[in-house]
Amino acid sequence: DAGVTQSPTHLIKTRGQQVTLRCSPISGHKSVSWYQQVLGQGPQFIFQYYEKEERGRGNFPDRFSARQFPNYSSELNVNALLLGDSALYLCASSLSTGTAQETQYFGPGTRLLVL
C-alpha cells in the first residue's frame, strides 16, 4: 500500500508570493495533520482536519490555511510568504481524529525555500 504522499517535493518562492502544498493520506485514513519543521527544530503543529472539518489549529497566523477534500486529500496554503516560512512541511495521516491510541503516518515532506 502507498504511504502518505506529498507534492511537490521541493519548492522555491519569493517573498510575498503564495504557495499551495498537497497531501494524499493513506487509503482509508480520514484525518490529515500539517506540521512545519524549521531547520534544526522539531515539527510544529499547524492544522488537523477530519472529515473535511478543521479539528485543531496551532499558533500560526491567518496567512496559513488548509482544506480537506471529499477524498480526504488536503491542501495547505500560505499567503504573503515571508523568509521565515522556509521550512519542511510535513503531512501526517491517521484513521480518525489522531487520538493517542492511533498512529500518525508521516509523508516525506515538501521543502519550501522563500527567497
Partner 1 sequence: AQSVTQLGSHVSVSEGALVLLRCNYSSSVPPYLFWYVQYPNQGLQLLLKYTTGATLVKGINGFEAEFKKSETSFHLTKPSAHMSDAAEYFCAVINTGGFKTIFGAGTRLFVKA
**Under 8 Å between Cβ of 87 and 41:** no
φ, ψ for residue 92 (rounded to 5)? -130, 140
Report, in Å, the least distance between residue 40 CB and partner 1.
8
Name which of 53, 77, 51, 83 is nearest 64 in CA terms: 77
Q: Which residues bind partner 1 (CB under 8 A)?
A: 4, 33, 35, 40-45, 48, 55-56, 58, 90, 92, 97-101, 103-109
C-alpha neighbours within 13 Å on the C-beta side of residue 13: 24
Report, in Å, the least distance between residue 13 CB and partner 1.
20
Nearer to partner 1 (CB atom), residue 91 or residue 114: 91
Task: Give the whole-angstrom CA distance, residue 81 versus residue 38.
Answer: 15
Nearer to partner 1 (CB atom), residue 89 or residue 114: 89
Report, in Å, the least distance between residue 59 CB and partner 1.
10
Nearer to partner 1 (CB atom), residue 15 or residue 52: 52
